[in-house]
Amino acid sequence: MAIITKVCDEAAGIKTFTLEFKEPEIQKSFDYRPGQFVELTVFGVGEAPISITSSPVNKGYLELTVAAVGKVTRALHLRKEKDVAGLRGPYGNGFPFDEVKGKNILFVGGGIGAAPLRSLINQMFAYRDNFAKISILYGAREPGLLCFIDDLEGWGKTENSEVLLTVDAPDAKWRGNVGVVGSLLPKIDIDIKNTVAFICGPPIMIHFVLLDLLKMGFEEEQIITTMERRMECGVGKCGHCNIGKSYVCLDGPVFSYHQLRELGEDI
């Protein structure tokens, strides 16, 4: 059982919920890795798998960024501070962290796909000296759908880091790049051989960014993505997340592109 302690309007149709467990002992012992997810219950409505967007370096609370796209998430958007929700988890394997220390890091996110990436980005910035250059490319359909504006500004001001933004449909105030997020890739300068790319966003975005990265010379093992859209029950019982011989909720949701290719997943 968790209490909603804060609700923040992140973008049009997207909110970030801060939750704290009702039991102090659970709050103290709960730990997770960026890229993992929880099953969130809106009582009387149902449950849904939601990626954790806060970072494990920030103790005492959990943040979930949620778009109102289904029955459960629309009901969650009607909840307010002090309302109670149910949480179970965390589930999944999470993003590699220690394994990529010393490397350049490239993040490519689209829309609500920035939510699980934010967890890893903040963890890496908390241990900034362990990584080389960090490049964050982020896009949305329109300026009003860009999330985590304050975070983006802070990340971009950090030494040896850069943040590039783009939108598909600019408004009158927009002065940045116009186009899909892949159009930002030619604007960055990185040593590809020593770079790991993390991608999350709509399936069509992931597909074309993968093609762009492969054309740039990235190896399949250097590209990490999350298949969170395939998750359902979280414990491998419903079969909804099955990919070849693997279950996303048990063996993922984080995979390298090489792993997905071996499983026969065409993304």
What is the residue-wise DSSP string for 52-74? --S-TTS-S-EEEEEE--SHHHH
Residue 52's pLDDT is 96
Residue 137's pLDDT is 98
Tens digit of pLDDT per residue, the chain (267 long)? 999 999 999 999 999 999 999 998 888 889 999 999 999 999 999 999 999 999 999 988 999 999 999 999 999 999 999 999 999 999 999 999 999 999 999 999 999 999 999 999 999 999 999 999 999 999 999 999 999 999 999 999 999 999 999 999 999 999 999 999 999 999 999 999 999 999 999 999 999 999 999 999 999 999 999 987 778 888 888 888 888 888 888 888 999 999 988 888 777
Domain 98-226 grouped into CATH 1.10.15.40: no
Residue 228's pLDDT is 76
Residue 201's pLDDT is 93
Q: Say what the pTM is.
A: 0.94
For CATH 3.40.50.80, list the domain ranges present in the chain: 98-226
Given a contact cutoff of 8 angstroms between Cβ atoms, the answer to whether 198 and 120 are in contact is yes
Cβ-based neighbour number of residue 141 at 10 Å: 14
Residue 257's pLDDT is 93
CATH superfamily of the domain spanning 2-91? Translation factors (2.40.30.10)
For CATH 2.40.30.10, list the domain ranges present in the chain: 2-91
Residue 42's pLDDT is 97
Residue 211's pLDDT is 95
Residue 8's pLDDT is 96
* H helix runs in the chain, sequence order: 24-29, 71-77, 114-126, 149-156, 203-216, 248-251, 257-262
- Side chain identity at residue 125, one-letter code: F
Residue 68's pLDDT is 94
